[in-house]
């Protein structure tokens, strides 16, 4: 009987310790998000204003592009980006961008290449819709393809960067190598991105998030040095 009580007490203490560690990790991650997003927005405010002006004067339409994505708990939210396409782009093609997509504006092409179009998502981070690091959020149409086990991704906030976004930093060029890019995204790229995101969810911590932020910064600063080799078109990663 004493052994049974001891085991029960040990298991209870272990559960409490694990729950406390998880709460501390979550609080630390949210604190990191708030500090980096707030400071980042202040530091890049002049750049944001310049980009907004360039988007406005070079192409008719709104400065920001808002698109519904699926977030934590499968709750929809509006992801923010600087608009990089013509105003009626959604009615002129698929949700994915392939190769030299004619819907992309000249300024938009530069913003996409440098990832500066993603900067408004710091606002999403401040609002709590997103985290700095987390699985990249998808549109509802693609989320409908997820299986029950794959929806474990939605137990955490989506992020601006994650392992899949680093691997598929040149996703548009990768998809251009397939005869049917939309099908390739559904059947090849998306399943691989989901697998990478699930692996991240299973192993994530504040320290892995910091490491991913460093890798993302290096990827932006030296894109050719940190390039990934993608599988040939028609094969699975």
| 160-169 pLDDT tens trace | 999 999 999 8
Backbone angles phi, psi at 126, to 5 degrees: -60, -40
Number of domains the chain contains: 1
Residue 191 resides in a domain? yes
CA quadruple 89, 79, 35, 171: dihedral sign: negative
CA-wise closest residue to 210 among 133, 116, 128, 101: 133
Backbone angles phi, psi at 72, to 5 degrees: -60, 140
- What integer pLDDT is reported at residue 7 of this predicted model? 57
Say which residue the tokens 């961008």 belong to: 97
CA-angle at 193, arms to 101 and 82, nearest 5°: 45
Residue 30 resides in a domain? no
User: With contact defined as beta carbons under 8 Å apart, do 198 and 152 qualify?
Assistant: yes
Residue 138 resides in a domain? yes
Residue 231 resides in a domain? no
- What integer pLDDT is reported at residue 29 of this predicted model? 87
- 66-118 tens-digit pLDDT: 999 999 999 999 999 999 998 888 777 777 787 778 899 999 999 998 999 99
Burial class (CB within 10 angstroms; exposed 0-12, middle 13-18, buried 19+) of 103:
middle
Residue 186 resides in a domain? yes
* 144 vs 168: CA distance, rounded Å: 21
Residue 2 resides in a domain? no
- Regions of the chain where pLDDT drops below 70: 1-22, 223-237
Residue 213 resides in a domain? yes
pTM strictly above 0.85: no
- What integer pLDDT is reported at residue 223 of this predicted model? 63
Residue 183 resides in a domain? yes
Residue-range definition of the domain harbouring residue 183: 48-221
- Kindly report the average pLDDT of the chain as a whole number: 86
């Amino acid at each position: 009987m004493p052994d049974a009580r001891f085991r029960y007490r040990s298991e209870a203490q272990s559960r409490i310790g694990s729950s406390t560690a998880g709460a501390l990790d979550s609080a630390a991650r949210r604190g990191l998000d708030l500090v980096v997003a707030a400071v980042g927005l202040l530091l890049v405010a002049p750049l944001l204003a310049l980009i907004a002006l360039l988007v406005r004067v070079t192409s008719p339409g709104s400065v920001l592009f808002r698109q519904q994505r699926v977030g934590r708990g499968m709750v929809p939210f509006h992801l923010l980006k600087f608009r990089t396409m013509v105003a009626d782009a959604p009615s002129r093609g698929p949700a994915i961008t392939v190769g030299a997509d004619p819907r992309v504006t000249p300024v938009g092409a530069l913003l996409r290449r440098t990832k500066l179009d993603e900067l408004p998502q710091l606002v999403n981070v401040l609002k709590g819709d997103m985290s700095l690091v987390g699985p990249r959020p998808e549109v509802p149409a693609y989320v409908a393809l997820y299986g029950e086990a794959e929806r474990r991704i939605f137990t955490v906030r989506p992020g601006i960067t994650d392992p899949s976004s680093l691997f598929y930093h040149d996703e548009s060029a990768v998809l251009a190598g397939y005869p049917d890019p939309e099908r390739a995204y559904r059947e090849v790229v998306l399943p691989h991105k989901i697998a990478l995101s699930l692996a991240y969810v299973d192993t994530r911590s504040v320290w892995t998030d910091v490491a991913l932020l460093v890798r993302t910064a290096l990827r932006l600063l030296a894109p050719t040095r940190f390039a990934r080799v993608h599988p040939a078109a028609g094969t699975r990663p």
